[in-house]
């Protein structure tokens, strides 16, 4: 039935979309997944689709964010032969967008999302997130939601697609739904010992290497890929890379088997939050025609990070999970050579791996005024780094999409990146002869390549200021908003429904 979207336009083919996610802004966030879930669900709803988001009610979610006139209700969920009871809180966020928070204290009332403060994975993670996945489908039954699309994200909610395809739902609400799986990072697959399998309630015959089995244990993402009608990842380059053993963490055969049902859709970014002309979290706004504000943001960043207050010295920003994926162990082998040989400063914000935290945390004492480090998670400081830095470094070993380099483009903070995945797709290489490009890319994952490319960017800053300024202007005008990406997801949903239809016909003949 046609509906009006938020602009009052008639939408011909509105879909009922069930989003099942382990994190979404503004409620809970550990990384890019939350940004994508929050923004994409909102955009789809704005366009006139009916979107239901189901996520855990974590201990850390502020009560005021979920406060709602709708009272919570109890719901039972069968996990294999175990019956569990949870509470469900619901909140209407905007027209067509409804969030449901699964409140199950045994699984979600904890300090962290996936691990404790010592970074140890919670042992019952497969049970926790399979429970979330199953609860989302039970919710459809309870609230009579009839999704056209069940959209799962990463290993955490991959189980939903197995439940969708293999359960004999005693209600008509789920039979028509096609399954879409978005892989935000194939490095995390949800691999656990087999013990949990019975509780998860998957079919015994699905514990095979083509579906859930992985070296004797369970691999949740594998099962999700198998059961999804369409699988996508978050940039075209990463989609290609993950078809090779080097990047797939073992899943390339399964992805190749999907053929053209495996695609790459670049993430968009939310410019309502990440744009220096309207950012409410930075000291002073600025835009391409007047960059004075950026100078002030730089001075404030230098102060916040205990760096020397020198306007002419380029500041290199880093905001990152401290994990091997992000290449920070490579940078650890070149950062001291960089500050010893170049006139630069670093403003580093991140947390994660204990060894990396210790190493980077020790640098300000060794290089006072030159390297500023804040270990922790701090959104306001992240905005200050984007706005105040001159260059932004991401030496990732792999990067499914990456958001910070896209934010950096908009803030005129030229990215220096390893040419991989979404970094390669979003940053255009600087050409010294013509002055074109939006950033500086390198290919080898080595400390030397980082050193050389930072050197190239720093010399451009000092020696070719006209090029640097023109690149800033070009970068700030780039548009990676959700408009285009949302269209691609709508296309993926259409394809998923076709794939499902073909599958259904085949299996009823």
Residue ranges in contact with ligand ADP by CB under 6 A: 31-32, 35, 319-321, 349-351, 377-379, 382, 401-404
Q: Which helix (H) or strand (E) holds 467?
A: helix 465-477
CA separation, residue 14 to residues 2, 45, 47, 90, 411 (Å):
7, 9, 8, 22, 35
Nearer to ligand ADP, 138 or 482 (CB): 482
Between 177 and 301, name the residue whose CB sits nearer to ligand ADP: 301
Q: Nearer to ligand ADP by C-beta: 32 or 447?
A: 32
Per DSSP, helices labelled H in 316-464 are 328-331, 335-341, 354-366, 379-388, 404-410, 421-426, 447-463
Q: What's the closest the beta carbon of residue 324 comes to ligand ADP, in angstroms?
A: 12
Closest approach of ligand ADP to the CB of residue 415, in Å: 11
CB-based burial label for 244 (10 Å; 0-12, 13-18, 19+)? exposed
CB of 292 to ligand ADP, least distance (A): 25
> Which residues partner with 73 through β-bridges?
88
State in angstroms the smallest separation of the CB of 15 from ligand ADP: 26
Assigned token pair, 97: 């967008």
Nearest distance, CB of residue 488 and ligand ADP, angstroms = 18
The CA–CA distances, whole Å, from 164 to 79, 86, 503 equal 14, 20, 14
Q: Between 32 and 201, name the residue whose CB sits nearer to ligand ADP.
A: 32
Residues 6 or more apart from 7 whose CB is under 8 A from it?
A: none
139 vs 373 by CB, closer to ligand ADP: 373
In the complex, the smallest distance separating the C-beta of residue 270 from ligand ADP, rounded to whole angstroms, is 9
Q: Which is nearer to ligand ADP, 293 or 400 (CB)?
A: 400
Q: Which helix (H) or strand (E) holds 432?
A: none
Residues 117, 120, 123, 128, CA torsion sign: positive
The rounded distance, in Å, linking the Cα atoms of 228 and 116 is: 31
Nearer residue to ligand ADP within complex by CB, 135 or 401: 401
424/418 Cα distance (integer angstroms) = 7
In angstroms, what is the minimal distance from the CB of 249 to ligand ADP? 14
Residue with nearest beta carbon to ligand ADP: 32
């Amino acid at each position: 039935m046609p509906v009006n979207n938020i602009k009052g336009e008639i939408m011909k083919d509105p879909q009922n979309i069930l989003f099942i996610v382990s994190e979404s802004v503004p409620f809970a966030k550990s990384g890019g997944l939350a940004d994508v879930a929050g923004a994409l669900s909102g955009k789809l709803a704005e366009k006139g689709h009916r979107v239901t988001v189901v996520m855990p009610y974590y201990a850390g979610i502020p009560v005021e964010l979920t406060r709602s006139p709708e009272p919570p209700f109890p719901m039972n969920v069968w996990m294999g032969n175990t019956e569990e009871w949870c509470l469900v809180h619901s909140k209407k966020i905007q027209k067509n967008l409804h969030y449901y928070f699964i409140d199950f204290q045994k699984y979600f009332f904890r300090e962290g999302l996936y691990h404790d403060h010592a970074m140890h994975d919670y042992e019952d993670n497969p049970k926790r997130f399979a429970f979330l996945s199953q609860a989302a489908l039970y919710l459809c039954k309870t609230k009579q939601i009839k999704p056209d699309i069940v959209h799962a994200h990463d290993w955490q909610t991959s189980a939903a697609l197995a439940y969708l395809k293999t359960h004999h739902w005693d209600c008509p609400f789920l039979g028509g739904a096609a399954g879409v799986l978005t892989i935000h990072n194939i490095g995390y697959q949800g691999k656990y010992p087999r013990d949990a399998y019975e509780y998860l309630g998957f079919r015994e015959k699905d514990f095979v290497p083509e579906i859930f089995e992985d070296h004797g244990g369970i691999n949740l993402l594998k099962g999700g890929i198998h059961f999804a009608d369409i699988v996508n990842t978050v940039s075209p380059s990463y989609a290609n890379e993950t078809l090779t053993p080097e990047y797939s963490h073992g899943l390339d055969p399964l992805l190749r088997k999907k053929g053209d049902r495996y695609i790459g859709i670049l993430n968009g970014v939310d410019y309502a939050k990440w744009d220096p002309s309207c950012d409410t979290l930075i000291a002073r706004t600025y835009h391409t025609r007047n960059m004075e504000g950026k100078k002030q943001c730089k001075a404030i960043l230098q102060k916040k990070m205990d760096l020397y207050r020198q306007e002419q010295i380029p500041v290199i920003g880093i905001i990152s999970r401290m994990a091997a994926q992000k290449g920070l162990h490579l940078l650890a082998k070149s950062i001291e050579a960089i500050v010893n040989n170049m006139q630069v400063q670093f403003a580093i914000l991140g947390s994660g791996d204990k060894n990396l935290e210790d190493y980077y945390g020790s640098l300000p004492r060794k290089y006072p005024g030159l390297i500023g480090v804040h270990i922790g998670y701090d959104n306001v400081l992240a905005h200050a780094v984007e706005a105040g830095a001159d260059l932004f470094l991401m030496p990732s070993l792999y990067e499914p999409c990456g958001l910070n380099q896209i934010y950096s483009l908009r803030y005129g903070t030229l990215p220096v990146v390893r040419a991989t995945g979404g970094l390669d797709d979003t940053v255009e290489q600087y050409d010294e002869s013509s002055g074109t490009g939006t950033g500086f890319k390198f290919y080898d994952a080595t400390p030397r390549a980082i050193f050389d490319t930072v050197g190239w960017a720093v010399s451009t800053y000092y020696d070719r200021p006209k090029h640097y300024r023109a690149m800033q202007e070009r970068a700030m005008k780039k548009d990676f908003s959700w408009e285009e990406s949302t269209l691609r997801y709508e296309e993926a949903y259409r394809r998923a429904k076709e794939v499902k239809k073909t599958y259904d016909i085949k299996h009823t003949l």
